[in-house]
């Protein structure tokens, strides 16, 4: 990597020198052309005598350096060291992208300027009623001549509902007494009224319990303990919490706050449950495994944030049982961590072609994480070349990788 950087610096210096010398040579050519013009005006014989001197002066315009031979040295460097063409290619891509950005910006500015100019020259728009008055009048007359379309009578629908309310609302009707009996049956089977949100045996009962708890929360915010009885479509709504219904629910031990109904466990109890699960299954609970999985996720989140109290009192207990602070299969790796491992791999192996880990290697191991990080770099580079969103792979990081001899895959 250090030799590549040296080669690049040498090439950059010689390129700069070649550009400066070419510029000086161009100036010398112009001065000689001016002298030739003056000599032609003075006479021919003197020109023949001074031509050899002028040619010698031109050859010595840049003493000690031959621009053509310097160009040969640059060509030799490009053919010998593969990293130099790669750097030139990346610089050209970067220059083209920069040129496109500048062109786009200039086009936007020109467009905005043109729009503002046209708006300033444009007269005020006419009022809608002035421009469409005649057309709308003809439209209304045509509708009257053709006859107005018949609309559904809301009055008729209301009369049908009052005489037979189940005709239109049978699917949405909730009968409190029926759901109350189903709640009693649930309590007999489970010993409480804590119906889960996703209760497969009776999802309607689960929704009913959730809704009446929410309604009670709204009433409590208003300083009320129950609702006034009212009739809607010939009956009392099923979720209306009248004084009598609240009394019936309290009589069977209904818990209005589900969080208070669920007994809280201490950190030590959850810790023991987590260790027992690991001993029985050989892995730690995942975040999708209810309250225990949520507790495990919380410990990892506190560890990543380095919370002082947690680091002092809890971390050593989890470390003693071999708790995994990074979930299995987590392949995320920071740029600094991945780049450091990549440089170490290059110094050891002489290349950056990281192979796939052997079979049997755990998904959460450093080998898998490093391999996936390098794989993501190649994937982001393909998006980078196409001008698409390319994650954390910036222009500076692309140049840095190429300077160290990293070869991007084009497939």
Q: Which tokens sit at 267?
A: 């950190």
The two tokens of residue 399 are: 């140049």
State the Cα–Cα distance between residues 109 and 105, nearest whole angstrom. 6
Residue 171 has pLDDT above 80, yes or no: no
Selected residue with higher pLDDT from 159 and 299 = 299
The answer to whether residue 329 scores a pLDDT higher than 80 is no
pLDDT at 270 over 70: yes
Neighbour-count burial for 333-371, b at 16+ CB within 10 Å, e otherwise? beeeebbebbeebbeeeeebebeebeeeeeeeeeebbbb
Q: What pLDDT is stored for residue 63 in this prediction? A: 56
Per the listing, tokens 């050989």 go with 282
Three-class DSSP category at 235: strand
Question: What's the CA gap between 358 and 373, in Å, rounded?
Answer: 16
pLDDT (tens digit, 9 = 90+) per residue, 388-403?
756 678 888 889 998 9
pLDDT of 126 higher than 80: no
Using CA atoms, how far apart are residues 109 and 115, in angstroms rounded to an integer? 10
| 230: Cα within 13 Å, side-chain hemisphere | 7
Closest CA to 208 of 239, 165, 173: 239
- To which residue do tokens 């610089």 refer? 91
**Residue 182 contacts residue 246 (beta carbons within 8 Å):** no
C-alpha count within 13 angstroms, C-beta hemisphere, residue 268: 1
Report the alpha-carbon distance of residue 341 to residue 394 in Å, rounded. Answer: 19
pTM of the model: 0.29
The pLDDT tens digits of the residues spanning 23-58 come to: 777 777 666 666 666 555 555 544 444 455 455 454
How big is the CA angle at 119 (ends 114 and 121), to the nearest 5 degrees? 95
Strand partners, 232: 235
Q: pLDDT, tens digit, for every residue of 280-302?
A: 988 888 876 767 888 888 898 88
With beta carbons less than 8 A apart as the criterion, state whether 318 and 302 touch: no
What is residue 165's predicted lDDT score, i.e. its pLDDT? Answer: 42
Mean pLDDT of the chain: 76
Question: Distance between CA atoms of 222 and 355, rounded to whole angstroms?
Answer: 65
Q: How confident is the model at residue 69 (pLDDT cuts 50, 70, 90)?
A: confident
Q: Is the pLDDT of residue 366 over 70?
A: yes
Q: How many CB atoms lie within 10 A of CB 125?
A: 7
Higher pLDDT, 24 or 370: 370
């Amino acid at each position: 990597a250090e030799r590549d950087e040296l080669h690049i610096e040498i090439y950059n210096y010689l390129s700069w020198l070649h550009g400066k010398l070419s510029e000086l040579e161009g100036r010398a050519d112009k001065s000689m052309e001016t002298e030739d013009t003056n000599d032609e005006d003075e006479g021919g014989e003197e020109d023949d005598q001074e031509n050899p001197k002028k040619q010698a002066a031109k050859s010595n315009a840049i003493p000690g350096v031959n621009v053509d031979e310097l160009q040969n040295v640059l060509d030799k460097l490009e053919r010998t060291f593969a990293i130099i063409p790669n750097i030139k290619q990346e610089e050209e891509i970067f220059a083209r992208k920069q040129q496109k950005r500048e062109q786009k910006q200039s086009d936007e500015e020109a467009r905005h300027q043109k729009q503002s100019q046209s708006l300033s020259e444009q007269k005020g728009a006419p009022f809608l009623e002035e421009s469409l008055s005649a057309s709308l009048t003809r439209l209304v007359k045509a509708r009257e001549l053709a006859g107005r379309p018949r609309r559904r009578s809301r009055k008729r629908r209301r009369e049908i509902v009052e005489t037979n309310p189940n005709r239109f609302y049978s699917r949405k009707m909730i009968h409190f007494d029926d759901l109350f009996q189903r709640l009693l049956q649930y309590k007999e089977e489970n010993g409480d009224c804590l119906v889960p949100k996703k209760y497969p045996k009776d999802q309607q009962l689960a929704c009913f319990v959730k809704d009446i708890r929410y309604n009670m929360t709204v009433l409590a915010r208003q300083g009320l303990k129950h609702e006034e009885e009212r009739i809607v479509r010939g009956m009392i709504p099923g979720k209306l919490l009248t004084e009598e219904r609240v009394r019936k629910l309290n009589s069977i031990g209904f818990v209005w706050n589900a969080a208070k109904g669920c007994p809280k466990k201490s950190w030590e109890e959850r810790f023991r449950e987590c260790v027992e699960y690991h001993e029985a299954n050989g892995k730690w609970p995942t975040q999708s495994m209810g309250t225990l999985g949520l507790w495990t996720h919380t410990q990892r989140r506190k560890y990543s944030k380095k919370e002082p109290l947690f680091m002092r009192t809890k971390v050593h207990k989890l470390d003693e049982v071999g708790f995994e602070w990074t979930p299995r299969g987590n392949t995320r790796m920071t740029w600094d961590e991945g780049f450091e491992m990549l440089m170490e791999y290059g110094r050891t192996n002489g290349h950056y072609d990281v192979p796939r880990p052997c079979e049997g290697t755990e998904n959460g191991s450093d080998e898998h994480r490093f391999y996936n990080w390098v794989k993501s770099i190649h994937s982001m580079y393909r998006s980078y070349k196409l001008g698409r969103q390319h994650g954390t792979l910036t222009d500076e990081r692309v140049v840095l990788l190429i300077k160290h001899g990293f070869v991007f895959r084009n497939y």
